[in-house]
């Protein structure tokens, strides 16, 4: 064998040796070789249910799964994807062993809300700042007569109310511990029904509650059938830090105390009154031109055209407006609002199901102000035509459209391709259920964007994510 052949054989043998080493090293690279801190980071992306399942794999994974850093935010309500805890003893053990000082947020169902559990949380979880107490399914409360302790560092508290259980016995015990609250949610049992003969109980004393919580910034009273204008007046008289007030679906609210609210709450920037019983005469009495309000929701109210014109032409710094499902919102309102110059700061507009606004008025409005909008909801308006969309897509610059090539037609696959390619930041597109929806959805799914296209059958688009207090308003 000559030198060249010897060299080739040695080189080949050396290469085979390296391949064998690489193959062997690859075979040894398993998840077991990852350091604990990497596994901990991986576990942090999983739900607590999944973490509990992984704890059964081996002793090492069990130790990582029980790391308190994975248990900062805990839900114990299985009906909303939380953990199921079978007994109070199990929960008390979890508080001591697994939660500890790292716990920041906890959700408790009615069967786990006892004075013993709350006492343990106050002693073992000193950094607990967010708590949700779900009494919505309660038929009877536990005995709180012996309760002497409650978490004292709470900044956020959400109470899901029952229709028939009076809360005053429990609330009296916690009033002295919650004066540091900044965000309060009281969640009712709002349901759309025609039965008005059922007796309504005021299951929580709002007037006493407001005296115990002077530092509230955000108040959300959602779907509570006994909340009326006197309760709004009570909060405004004591909460000088109030920035956001939401009374969505509280149908006893008429707006009779709006004038007082605006006068007292100088820091109020967000007012949400979707589905209330606002009366035009009360709304027009408020000093809108002297307030700092920036975000307003008056969806599904019966305000008149005159009232809407008066309101919008006096609100000078409005950046968010939801005013859908109002018969009085028409071309006149849009025109006078534009002429007042108060549209200059608006970045979100929701005119859902506004049947009395014409294509022409919308076209003029969006041509003039479309470039400043980050959200525009025009759902439930079947009279809007393709011609309107073609005329305004080019001015909605935040969406990055291609006005030269886009053709809005159910037969144009190219239009759908351009929509997907040009709108890389598009997170949600809701279409009426049908053939066009199926076509667009399939197009996006092929590009691994499976959650973008949705149907009106099970999804609604809302610009609420643009509210300045959006994170504080989230509950459940």
Q: Is 70 exceeded by the pLDDT of residue 2?
A: no
Whole-number pLDDT of residue 17: 53
Whole-number pLDDT of residue 193: 46
**In angstroms, rounded to a whole number, what is the distance separating the alpha carbons of residues 122 and 80?**
25
Whole-number pLDDT of residue 356: 92
Q: Which residues sit opposite 272 in a β-bridge? A: 246, 297
Return the higher-pLDDT residue of 412 and 347. 347
Top CATH class of 71-191+202-472 equals alpha beta
Whole-number pLDDT of residue 276: 96
Task: Give percent helix, percent strand, percent coil of the chain, each to the nearest 5.
Answer: 45, 10, 45
- Average pLDDT over every residue of 425-447: 80
pLDDT band at 402 (very low <50, low <70, confident <90, very high): very low
pLDDT band at 253 (very low <50, low <70, confident <90, very high): very high
Q: How far is residue 328 from each of residues 289, 350, 356, 361, 421, measured CA to CA in Å?
A: 21, 15, 8, 15, 39
| pTM, full prediction | 0.82
Q: Is 80 exceeded by the pLDDT of residue 422?
A: no
* CA angle (337 as vertex; 332, 273 as ends), nearest 5: 95
- Average pLDDT over every residue of 37-51: 89
Q: Is 60 exceeded by the pLDDT of residue 194?
A: no
Instruction: Specify whether the CB–CB gap between 377 and 404 falls below 8 A.
Output: no
pLDDT band at 404 (very low <50, low <70, confident <90, very high): very low
Whole-number pLDDT of residue 437: 79
Whole-number pLDDT of residue 68: 85
**In angstroms, rounded to a whole number, what is the distance separating the alpha carbons of residues 37 and 64?**
9
φ, ψ at 150 (rounded to 5°): -160, 145
Whole-number pLDDT of residue 407: 43
How many CB atoms lie under 10 A from the CB of residue 132? 23
Q: How far is residue 218 from each of residues 115, 240, 313, 425, 447, measured CA to CA in Å?
A: 27, 11, 26, 30, 40
Whole-number pLDDT of residue 408: 45
List CB contacts of 35: < 8 A, sequence separation 6 or more.
none
Q: How far is residue 303 from each of residues 279, 280, 283, measured CA to CA in Å?
A: 6, 5, 9
> Among 263-277, 346-360, 368-382, 428-442, which is the least confidently predicted range?
428-442
- In total, the chain counts a number of residues equal to 476
- Average pLDDT over every residue of 71-97: 88
Whole-number pLDDT of residue 259: 95
Whole-number pLDDT of residue 1: 46
Top CATH class of 33-70 equals mainly alpha
Share of the chain above pLDDT 70, in %: 85
Domain ranges of the chain: 33-70, 71-191+202-472
- Average pLDDT over every residue of 159-180: 91
Return the higher-pLDDT residue of 7 and 398. 398
Q: Which residues sit opposite 221 in a β-bridge? A: 186
- Average pLDDT over every residue of 282-294: 95
pLDDT per residue over 13-24, tens digit each?
554 455 554 555
Instruction: Specify whether the CB–CB gap between 257 and 230 falls below 8 A.
Output: yes
Mean pLDDT score across all residues of the chain:
85
> Among 44-48, 119-123, 248-252, which is the least confidently predicted range?
44-48
- Average pLDDT over every residue of 351-377: 89
Q: DSSP labels for 295-311?
A: EEE-TT----HHHHHHH
Whole-number pLDDT of residue 100: 86
- Could you give the 3-state DSSP secondary structure of residue 130? strand
Share of the chain above pLDDT 90, in %: 50
Whole-number pLDDT of residue 269: 96
């Amino acid at each position: 064998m000559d030198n060249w052949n010897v060299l080739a054989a040695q080189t080949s043998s050396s290469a085979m040796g390296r391949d064998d080493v690489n193959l062997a090293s690859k075979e040894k690279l398993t998840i077991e070789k990852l350091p604990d801190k990497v596994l901990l980071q991986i576990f942090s992306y999983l739900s607590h249910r999944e973490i509990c399942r992984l704890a059964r794999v081996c002793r090492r994974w069990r130790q990582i799964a029980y790391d308190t850093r994975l248990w900062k935010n805990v839900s114990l309500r299985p009906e909303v994807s939380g953990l199921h805890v079978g007994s109070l003893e199990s929960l008390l053990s979890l508080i001591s062993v697994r939660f500890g000082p790292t716990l920041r947020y906890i959700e408790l169902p009615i069967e786990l809300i006892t004075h013993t559990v709350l006492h343990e949380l106050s002693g073992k979880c000193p950094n607990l700042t967010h708590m949700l107490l779900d009494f919505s399914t309660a038929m009877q409360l536990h005995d709180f007569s012996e309760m002497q302790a409650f978490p004292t560092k709470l900044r956020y508290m959400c109470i899901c109310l029952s229709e028939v259980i009076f809360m005053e016995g429990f609330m009296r015990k916690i009033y002295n511990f919650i004066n540091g609250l900044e965000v309060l949610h009281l969640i009712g049992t709002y349901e759309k029904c025609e039965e008005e003969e059922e007796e309504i109980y005021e299951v929580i004393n709002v007037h006493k509650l407001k005296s115990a919580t002077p530092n509230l910034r955000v108040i959300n009273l959602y779907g509570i059938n006994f909340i009326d204008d006197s309760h709004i007046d009570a909060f405004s008289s004591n909460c000088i830090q109030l920035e956001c007030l939401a009374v969505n679906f509280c149908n006893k609210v008429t707006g009779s105390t709006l004038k007082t609210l605006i006068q007292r709450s100088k820091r109020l920037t967000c007012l949400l009154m979707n589905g209330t019983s606002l009366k035009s005469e009360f709304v027009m009495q408020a000093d809108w031109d002297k307030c700092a309000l920036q975000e307003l929701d008056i969806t599904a109210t019966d305000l008149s055209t005159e009232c809407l014109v008066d309101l919008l032409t006096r609100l000078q710094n409005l950046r968010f407006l939801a005013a859908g499902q109002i018969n009085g919102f028409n071309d006149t309102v849009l025109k006078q609002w534009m002429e007042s110059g108060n549209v200059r700061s608006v970045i979100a507009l929701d005119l859902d199901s506004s049947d009395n606004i014409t294509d022409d008025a919308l076209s003029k409005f969006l041509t003039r102000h479309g470039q400043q909008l980050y959200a525009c909801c025009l759902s439930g308006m079947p009279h809007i035509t393709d011609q309107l969309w073609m005329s305004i897509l080019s001015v909605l610059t935040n969406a990055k459209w291609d006005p030269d090539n886009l053709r809005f037609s159910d037969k144009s696959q190219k239009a759908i391709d351009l929509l997907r390619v040009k709108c890389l930041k598009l997170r949600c597109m809701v279409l009426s259920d049908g053939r066009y929806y199926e076509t667009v959805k399939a197009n996006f799914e092929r590009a691994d964007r499976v959650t973008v296209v949705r149907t009106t059958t099970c999804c609604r688009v809302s610009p609420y994510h643009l509210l300045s207090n959006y994170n504080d308003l989230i509950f459940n």
